[in-house]
């Protein structure tokens, strides 16, 4: 592939979410990103998606677009490999598009016909009315957003939420960094004898001494702690691996840069990984899910219970089922998404 000329095109998208997404930084109404299209001299085409989340420590769309404009329309794989590591989402997009041509280890490594998916529950009391229908569909792993309302109210609701779950179910709690240490301790005490699979990001990554607090909590309580916002790109993964983090790594491949080496490091360290959506479109999700299917470590339910996210189904991934099948992933059609943006 060396020296090969590739034609690089890109299209920006702005897609309103069907329902605004609540984040620690306020309501998020629309997703914006860039789809890239690479074509080689033989007419083979690969697509990729850069779906930045700047408050997650990624580049902005403008930065990704500016770098694409500098690259221009004709590029070599060497030029693509030289895109700076800080442009994580763009690197993920280009790596995904290039993977379509090449060795295609991702599909060869495909080792499961389907993977379970965690059902997303609304924050607060809203969760209670959602559980029954998701149980009916077959979901057995649930994720509840916490740290949104008053801590006393949410703690009081926990047993009501658990009470709605069939036996053998698991509940993930995602605080998105909303708590301080004392609040996190109250939750982890409460979680201890309950079917809580893990508590995700109890402390914000930019809180004072956040890494020490997270390590302390992981040592003091039996419920595993998952890092999400604390992991932005390969250097954070390396840092937590070096610190022998005993908990879970929530991996949003779309924010990782070139994901293959990072995942290889995690696999080598036998890390406990949850693959998760960055609310990207079907283009980026296809690449992310292929990586999840290629993962050979312990499998936890995917954090891809997010769709339908958009009004046009061509941008959505598979939804409504407690499992994603590898054939559902292969059926995702990046070309249709690209065409819809013309
Ligand atoms: Mg999270």
Does residue 110 register a pLDDT over 70?
no
Mean pLDDT of 151-171: 97
Active site residue: 145, 270, 286, 298, which one? Answer: 145
255 alpha carbon – ligand 1 mean position (Å): 13
Report how far residue 281's alpha carbon sits from residue 94's, in angstroms, rounded to the nearest whole number.
Answer: 15
What H or E segment, with its residue span, contains residue 182?
helix 181-191
Q: Calculate how far, in angstroms, residue 324's C-alpha sits from the geometric centre of ligand 1.
A: 20
Residues 6+ apart with CB under 8 A from 129: none
Distance 201 CA to ligand 1 centre (A): 7
β-partners of residue 46 are: 38
Is the link from the previous residue into 308 a cis peptide, with omega within 30 of 0? yes
pLDDT at 108: 45
- Which of 150, 130, 157 minimizes the C-alpha distance to 142? 130
Compute the distance between CA of residue 103 and CA of residue 259 in angstroms, rounded to an integer. Answer: 15
252 is known as an active-site residue: yes
- Residue 266 is predicted with a pLDDT of 97
Find out whether 134 and 161 touch, Cβ atoms under 8 Å: no
For 321, list phi and psi in degrees, rounded to 5.
-115, 150
Q: pLDDT digit string (tens) for 178-190?
A: 999 999 999 999 9
Domains plus CATH for the chain? 6-99 (3.30.390.10), 114-340 (3.20.20.120)
| pTM summary value | 0.95
Q: Using alpha carbons, select from 125, 136, 132, 51 the residue that is nearest to residue 87.
A: 51
Characterise 267 by phi-psi region: left (phi > 0), alpha (psi -120 to 50), beta (else).
alpha
Q: If you measure from the C-alpha of residue 286 to the centroid of ligand 1, how many angstroms do you get, rounded to a whole number?
A: 20
Q: CA 215 → CA 13, 180, 224, distances in Å?
A: 39, 14, 11
- So what's the pLDDT on residue 103? 57
Q: What is the mean pLDDT of the chain?
A: 94
Contact between 31 and 281 (Cβ < 8 Å)? yes
Burial class (CB in 10 A: 0-12, 13-18, 19+), 297: middle
Q: Is 298 a catalytic residue?
A: no
Pick the catalytic residue: 143, 252, 286, 298?
A: 252
Render the burial of 164-187: b for 16+ CB within 10 Å, e for the rest.
Answer: bbeeebbbbbbbbbbbebebbbeb
pLDDT at 121 over 60: yes
Residue 237 CA to ligand 1 center (angstroms) comes to 15
Tokens at 316, concatenated: 């959505």
Does the pLDDT of residue 106 top 70, yes or no? no
Give tens-digit pLDDT for 123-134: 999 999 999 999
Q: Can you list the pairs that 150-158 forms with residues at least 24 positions away whose Cβ atoms lie under 8 Å?
A: 151/179, 151/183, 151/186, 151/187, 153/124, 154/124, 155/186, 155/187, 155/190, 157/124, 157/125, 157/127, 157/128, 158/190, 158/194
Task: Tell me the C-alpha to C-alpha distance, in Å, between residue 277 and each of 53, 118, 257.
Answer: 12, 11, 14
Q: How far apart are CA 295 and CA 299, in angstroms?
A: 8
- Give 177 Cα–ligand 1 centroid separation in angstroms: 9
Distance 228 CA to ligand 1 centre (A): 5
The CA distance from 309 to 279, in Å, is 8
Which tens digit of pLDDT belongs to each residue from 235-263?
999 999 999 999 999 999 999 999 999 99
């Amino acid at each position: 592939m060396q020296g090969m000329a590739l034609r690089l095109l890109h299209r920006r998208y702005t897609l309103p979410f069907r329902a605004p997404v609540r984040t620690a930084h306020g309501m998020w109404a629309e997703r914006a990103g860039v789809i890239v299209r690479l074509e080689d001299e033989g007419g083979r085409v690969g697509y990729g998606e850069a779906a930045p989340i700047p408050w997650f420590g990624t580049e902005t769309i403008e930065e990704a677009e500016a770098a694409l404009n500098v690259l221009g329309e004709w590029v070599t794989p060497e030029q693509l490999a030289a895109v700076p590591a800080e442009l994580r989402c763009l690197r993920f997009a280009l790596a995904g598009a290039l993977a379509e041509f090449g060795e295609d280890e991702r599909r060869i490594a495909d080792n499961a016909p389907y993977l379970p998916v965690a059902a997303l529950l609304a924050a607060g009391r809203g969760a209670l009315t959602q559980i029954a229908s998701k149980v009916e569909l077959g979901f057995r792993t649930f994720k509840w957003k916490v740290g949104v309302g008053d801590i006393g109210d949410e703690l009081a609701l926990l047993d009501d939420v658990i009470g709605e779950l069939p036996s053998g179910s698991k509940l993930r709690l995602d605080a998105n960094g909303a708590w301080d240490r004392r609040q996190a301790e109250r939750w982890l005490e409460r979680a201890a004898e309950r079917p809580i699979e893990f508590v995700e990001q109890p402390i914000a990554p930019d809180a004072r001494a956040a890494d020490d607090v997270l390590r302390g909590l992981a040592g003091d309580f039996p419920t595993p702690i998952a890092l999400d916002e604390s992991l932005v790109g390969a250097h954070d993964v390396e840092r937590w691996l070096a610190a022998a983090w005993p908990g879970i790594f929530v991996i949003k491949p779309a924010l990782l840069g070139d994901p293959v080496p990072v995942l290889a490091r995690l696999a080598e360290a036998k890390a406990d990984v949850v693959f998760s959506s960055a609310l990207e479109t079907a283009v980026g999700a296809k690449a992310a899910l292929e990586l999840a299917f290629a993962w050979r470590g312990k499998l936890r339910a995917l954090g891809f219970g997010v769709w339908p996210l958009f009004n046009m189904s061509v941008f959505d991934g598979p939804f409504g089922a407690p499992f994603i099948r590898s054939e559902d992933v292969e059926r995702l059609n990046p070309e249709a998404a690209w065409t819809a943006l013309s």
